[in-house]
Chains A and B, each alone.
Chain A
Amino acid sequence: MRSGINPFFSRASEYVGSDGKFIKLFSPEILFLFKDYPILNTVNIFRSSPGGGKTTLLKLFTPRVLHEIIKHQKHDESCKEIHKILKELHVVDDRTPLISASLISFNNEYSSLEHIDLNDIQKERLFYSLLNIRIVISILHSLSISKNLNFPEDLHQLEIKNTTGVNVPQNVMNLKTGQDFFNWASSLEESVCKEMDSFSFDISVLEGNIDLFSLELFNKQNLFFENKPIDEDILVMLDNVHDLSKSQRSNLLNKIINKRPPVTTWVAERLKALTMDEILEGTTSGRDRNTIYLERYWSSKSFEKFARSVADRRVAAVFDDEITNFTSFLSTTFKDETNVVIASGKKKVEERVKQKFSNDKYKQWLQSKDAEYENDFDGLVSWRTLEILLTRDENKPQKVMDFGEELAEEQLEVQEGNDVKNAAKLFLHEEMNVPYYYGFSAISKLSSSNIEQFLSIAGNVFEDILSKKVYKKLKKDYDLTITPERQEEIIVKKSKVQWKELTEKVPNFLEISNFLESLGRFCSSQTYVPNAWNSPGINGIAITMSDRLFLKDTVLKNFNHPLYRFARCLVTCISYNLIDYTLNYKCQGKTLMVLYLNRMYCVKYNLPLDNGKFKIRKLTELAPWTDKIYTPTKNKNLWEQE
């Protein structure tokens, strides 16, 4: 069954049924992360908020998808592009995959084991028994696809040698062929699952120990096909590890990380599964283990390019007979009503500036603005930028030494940077409601490097495009583009809906809401000052790295610590992607942890979307924000002198 016609709402590519469709929607830019991290002989731990793209990435490595890519590499553009990168990464060659990957996805079935009436050791045995079974079956299945065998009928052609390893259970040691292993695993799986759903668990079905023997036994050296060792490297990908219980997860990760199993193992999990310690830990990389935070990876690379590729592939799925891209639907031309506001606004700001800064010192600057503009909006922005710069100049302490020397036009050009222009646009949005949040770049920034967040915003915009497409069938010259006003309307609405949803999704939301509201109000109060001193604006705060260490090593270990609630709030905000953070940022001789408000919520407080400026704050200043919403000492003031 199809889930809908808006391809942006195919939340993540993993839900799209067919492999061909999946490949069409897959954007290969994500694969470049393997230029920084190895694919094999390591434990890769992928972490992100929901919708970061973990499962999509893992699914690409599954044997059916790899075969499909190889099969169509010559005549399908998407396959060709992905194949080229995969070949460079030694995942495939021209004829066959070089990796046989198994995807095991956890769900609440595993965590429910914790609530069965068994003792802790029995629960652990049950968990590893089930996991070993699933890994064995999954590896055999992948190998069948790689070797073009019928599953499970032809599994006797696979041989597993050296089954007498140290951790292999006694009854498994006698098994020789893939068929033997499949029969053993599938019948055990059936009886274990039956017991798990029964009202009284019969422990006699339990087999095996608490070892993850499957990751040792099924390594490449032990696997033979047609009496020869197999060529493919074995990769086991454990997805949705966050769905395990805390103890299952930590036990499993410890086993994988400490034992470094011979079978390459990847783990994918959401940030919410992490302990508070782990969240504040940051990236860990080493010879045998890499922790890859996807949003942070994208914030250091070109997320916009990736998002563009993701969007264009989805647009192509609907507009398959036309050459088009998502950006082409996003108009930058304002509606007539807005142009009227802009024209009168330009006049108003011009008069205000001329009246306020009539001093001869500013004569040249004022004259330079009397030029012709391509459109009223450019003129308005230009005058508003000048107002900010003149306010700055008036506030300078040198004023006392000012001998009335006229400021040259060249000096104005130097000071009129993009930051100030951006601040002027933001101020105009606040003062006159001139759209600010529109265009592809804005949508990309609003996503805070999370692909699902991007798809969700872009999908709402695309709904309008789809409706227009229906009209276009009746009227050929019907314009499909979305005006900036409408784009902003959709974005603001989406931001509100997403905020409302937080109340239901995020634990302890009252303190989180207080903190975010305080952060938003604080940033707003620092942004909206007449001289826009922090242009384009503030959308973050920073604490020192030593304060972060204190939170991690002292505060979070003591429930009764006065800062505990604040530390817990910070961790929740990070794990639910409500704030983005950067570690070890050097500024003013200090090493900082910078905490930016998720861009989606910047809309709520009319804040800029760029990685704006931030203010350093002490923990004791921030902690009260979880209890009481910060109230700025001064109201917003955009043009009056203080």
Chain B
Amino acid sequence: MGAGIRWENNFIRKGPEFCKFWSDYLASGKKNVCYIMGIGFDPRTNHGITKIFSLPGEGDRKCIAFKYIKENLVQDRTPNPHVIKHTEQLEKYLKDTVGIDPVYKELITRSDEDKSIASINSSKIIESTDLEGFTDIIIDISAMSRGVFLPLIYKMLSQIDKQVSPKQNLHIVVAENPVLDSSIEDKGVEEQMTFPHGFRIPEIAKTEAYSKIWIPMLGEGQLDQFRIINKELEPVAVCPVLPFPSIKLKRGDNLINYYDHLFNDPDFEPNNIIYADEQNPFQIYRLLTRTIDQYHNTFKILGGCKIILSTLSSKLMTIGAFMAFYESKKQQKIVGIAHVESIDHHLDDQCRTENSENDILYQIWLTGEPYGE
């Protein structure tokens, strides 16, 4: 593997380089930018947009902001005070600095029957949004859950891939903050695993006998989710992805202790462990693509296999998994992304105050100019 993979050459900027890139890029000519973001309780909600839209540059600016609504019932619409604060901050910032108002899109995350419908609704929203005329589309996933941003990016990338040159540029922006991430608690998880819309492995008679290979990207506080997926999938092989190198050097070791049931299982094959740089989604993409290819080729003799990725780790690593999924799916491999939805989240106020400014902004350019498209 290696030659011929889509993102063999890639474009990623972080920290100080993030601002430098956007400053140079926006100054380089007319750019019509559409910024798609979520307004959540996460203190990182407005960090990306305020950095990029404050930079001078010619061209139109638009902000599409997802408002998360738990149920389609008027009486239950009592927004979180942090969401109200972030909304007010965004509106004020856009009015004062850019001279525009955000375009709100309501995203209903749960059905009347309390089932998660965020992923299907997220792709529906983008379907009904006119993005013509924009040279650059930025999806800021800092305040979006996986169930929301995965179908959104999938849909957007599929649409752009169908365009003829010059294609729109698609950028993913994420504010990473490991301390803050580990402080966000899941308040209850669903009893079943689910595949976000577009990421399902078809459970059909033709492939029923195919073995399942599971590639979970491990992270802290996700043991319940790990167990639920493992129990439902009953994979024949598990290839856990551990973060190495990572900012905290012992993070991978700690995760081995945390998921001791997996690593102490006599059936577990230590050679299956994949070590990936937690800050480089393109490396994760390359490693996962290679693993998927190897299993796909090996199991071809037996008919085939189903490969399931699970992102129990950071959003940055999730982007790497998405790219591996997207490319493998295009090559007609049976691949999906399974996860377990959290019912709600909680972030301690003290932690919010102490850590909200310590994040690092990442920019991942998925398609467009640098790829000669």
Interface contact A190-B268, CB-CB below 8 Å? no
Interface contact A197-B197, CB-CB below 8 Å? yes
Beta-carbon contacts under 8 Å, A209-246 to B? 243, 245-246
Whether A194 sits at the interface, judged by CB under 8 Å, is yes
CB-nearest residue of chain B to A505: B188
Interface contact A109-B206, CB-CB below 8 Å? no
Interface contact B261-A199, CB-CB below 8 Å? no
Beta-carbon contacts under 8 Å, B167-211 to A? 187-188, 191-192, 194-195, 197-200, 202-206
Interface contact B127-A199, CB-CB below 8 Å? yes
CB-nearest residue of chain A to B204: A189
Interface contact A108-B115, CB-CB below 8 Å? yes
List chain B residues, Cβ under 8 A from A115. Answer: 111, 117, 120-121
Q: How far is the CA of A194 from the CA of B204 in the complex (A)?
A: 10
Q: How far is the CA of A243 from the CA of B114 in the complex (A)?
A: 11
List chain B residues, Cβ under 8 A from A30. Answer: none
- Closest Cβ–Cβ distance, residue A456 to chain B (whole Å): 14
Beta-carbon contacts under 8 Å, B104-158 to A? 111, 113-115, 117, 120-121, 123-124, 127, 155, 158
Interface contact B204-A193, CB-CB below 8 Å? yes
Beta-carbon contacts under 8 Å, B223-242 to A? 227, 230-231, 234-236, 238
Interface contact A193-B202, CB-CB below 8 Å? yes
List chain B residues, Cβ under 8 A from A190. Answer: 202, 204, 206
List chain A residues, Cβ under 8 A from B266. Answer: 2
Interface centre among B113, B227, B230, B231, by most chain A C-beta atoms within 10 angstroms, is B113
* Residue from A3, A137, A197 within 8 A of B205 (CB atoms): A137
Interface contact A111-B205, CB-CB below 8 Å? no
Interface contact B120-A17, CB-CB below 8 Å? no
Interface contact A199-B343, CB-CB below 8 Å? no
Interface contact B120-A194, CB-CB below 8 Å? no
Interface contact A504-B267, CB-CB below 8 Å? no
Q: How far is the CA of A71 from the CA of B153 in the complex (A)?
A: 53
Q: How far is the CA of A199 from the CA of B121 in the complex (A)?
A: 11
Whether B349 sits at the interface, judged by CB under 8 Å, is no
Whether A185 sits at the interface, judged by CB under 8 Å, is yes
Q: How far is the CA of A116 from the CA of B121 in the complex (A)?
A: 9
CB-nearest residue of chain B to A133: B205
Interface contact A1-B202, CB-CB below 8 Å? no
Interface contact B230-A189, CB-CB below 8 Å? no
Whether B348 sits at the interface, judged by CB under 8 Å, is no
Whether B96 sits at the interface, judged by CB under 8 Å, is no
A185-202 near B? 1/0 per residue, CB < 8 Å:
110011001101111100
- A194-B205 contact in complex given A2-B265, A3-B231, A111-B113, C-beta closer than 8 Å: no
Q: How far is the CA of A107 from the CA of B124 in the complex (A)?
A: 22
Indicate the size class of the contact surface on chain B: 35 or more
- A199-B268 contact in complex given A1-B230, A109-B200, A246-B113, C-beta closer than 8 Å: no
Q: How far is the CA of A193 from the CA of B123 in the complex (A)?
A: 18
Interface centre among A141, A193, A194, A199, by most chain B C-beta atoms within 10 angstroms, is A199
Using a Cβ–Cβ cut-off of 8 Å, how many residues does chain A contribute to the interface with B? Answer: 39
Interface contact B202-A197, CB-CB below 8 Å? yes
Interface contact B234-A504, CB-CB below 8 Å? no
Beta-carbon contacts under 8 Å, B286-334 to A? none
Beta-carbon contacts under 8 Å, A60-113 to B? 107-109, 111-112
Q: How far is the CA of A635 from the CA of B114 in the complex (A)?
A: 41
Whether A182 sits at the interface, judged by CB under 8 Å, is yes
Interface contact B120-A198, CB-CB below 8 Å? no
Interface contact A3-B230, CB-CB below 8 Å? yes
Whether A165 sits at the interface, judged by CB under 8 Å, is no
List chain B residues, Cβ under 8 A from A1. Answer: 230, 234-236, 238, 265, 267-268
* Residue from B187, B191, B198 within 8 A of A198 (CB atoms): B198
Whether A585 sits at the interface, judged by CB under 8 Å, is no
Q: How far is the CA of A182 from the CA of B205 in the complex (A)?
A: 9
List chain B residues, Cβ under 8 A from A15. Answer: 231
List chain A residues, Cβ under 8 A from B127. Answer: 199-200
List chain B residues, Cβ under 8 A from A245. Answer: 111, 113, 115
Q: How far is the CA of A141 from the CA of B209 in the complex (A)?
A: 12
Q: How far is the CA of A614 from the CA of B150 in the complex (A)?
A: 53
- Closest Cβ–Cβ distance, residue B222 to chain A (whole Å): 15
List chain A residues, Cβ under 8 A from B268. Answer: 1
Interface centre among A2, A115, A117, by most chain B C-beta atoms within 10 angstroms, is A115
Beta-carbon contacts under 8 Å, A143-192 to B? 152, 182, 185-186, 189-190
List chain A residues, Cβ under 8 A from B198. Answer: 197-199
List chain A residues, Cβ under 8 A from B113. Answer: 111, 245-246
Interface contact B202-A199, CB-CB below 8 Å? no
List chain A residues, Cβ under 8 A from B238. Answer: 1
- Closest Cβ–Cβ distance, residue A510 to chain B (whole Å): 13
- Closest Cβ–Cβ distance, residue B279 to chain A (whole Å): 30
Interface contact A189-B123, CB-CB below 8 Å? no
- A111-B115 contact in complex given A117-B124, A199-B158, C-beta closer than 8 Å: yes
Beta-carbon contacts under 8 Å, A115-140 to B? 115-117, 137
Q: How far is the CA of A521 from the CA of B127 in the complex (A)?
A: 54
B252-275 near A? 1/0 per residue, CB < 8 Å:
000000000100011110000000
A474-504 near B? 1/0 per residue, CB < 8 Å:
0000000000000000000000000000011
Whether A404 sits at the interface, judged by CB under 8 Å, is no
List chain B residues, Cβ under 8 A from A109. Answer: 200, 203
Q: How far is the CA of A189 from the CA of B205 in the complex (A)?
A: 8
- Closest Cβ–Cβ distance, residue A7 to chain B (whole Å): 14
Whether A114 sits at the interface, judged by CB under 8 Å, is yes
Interface contact A504-B204, CB-CB below 8 Å? no
CB-nearest residue of chain B to A246: B113
List chain B residues, Cβ under 8 A from A507. Answer: 114
Q: How far is the CA of A111 from the CA of B190 in the complex (A)?
A: 15
Q: How far is the CA of A4 from the CA of B261 in the complex (A)?
A: 7
List chain A residues, Cβ under 8 A from B205. Answer: 137, 141, 152, 182, 185-186, 189
Interface contact B188-A2, CB-CB below 8 Å? no
- Closest Cβ–Cβ distance, residue A425 to chain B (whole Å): 37
Q: How far is the CA of A15 from the CA of B233 in the complex (A)?
A: 10
Q: How far is the CA of A506 from the CA of B262 in the complex (A)?
A: 30
Interface contact B261-A17, CB-CB below 8 Å? no
- Closest Cβ–Cβ distance, residue A143 to chain B (whole Å): 14
* Residue from A108, A141, A186, A196 within 8 A of B194 (CB atoms): A108
Chain A to chain B contacts (Cβ below 8 Å), 30 pairs? A1-B236, A3-B230, A3-B261, A11-B231, A50-B191, A108-B115, A108-B192, A112-B115, A112-B197, A115-B120, A117-B124, A137-B205, A152-B205, A182-B205, A185-B205, A186-B206, A189-B205, A193-B204, A194-B202, A196-B200, A197-B197, A197-B199, A198-B198, A199-B127, A199-B198, A200-B127, A245-B115, A246-B113, A504-B187, A507-B114
Measuring CB to CB, which residues of chain A are less than 8 angstroms from any residue of chain B? 1-4, 11, 15, 17, 50, 107-109, 111-112, 114-117, 137, 141, 152, 182, 185-186, 189-190, 193-194, 196-200, 243, 245-246, 503-505, 507
A-B contacts besides A152-B205, A194-B202, 16 pairs, CB < 8 Å: A1-B234, A2-B267, A3-B261, A4-B261, A108-B192, A109-B200, A186-B205, A189-B204, A189-B206, A193-B204, A196-B200, A197-B195, A199-B155, A199-B158, A200-B127, A245-B111
Measuring CB to CB, which residues of chain B are less than 8 angstroms from any residue of chain A? 111, 113-115, 117, 120-121, 123-124, 127, 155, 158, 187-188, 191-192, 194-195, 197-200, 202-206, 227, 230-231, 234-236, 238, 261, 265-268, 343-344
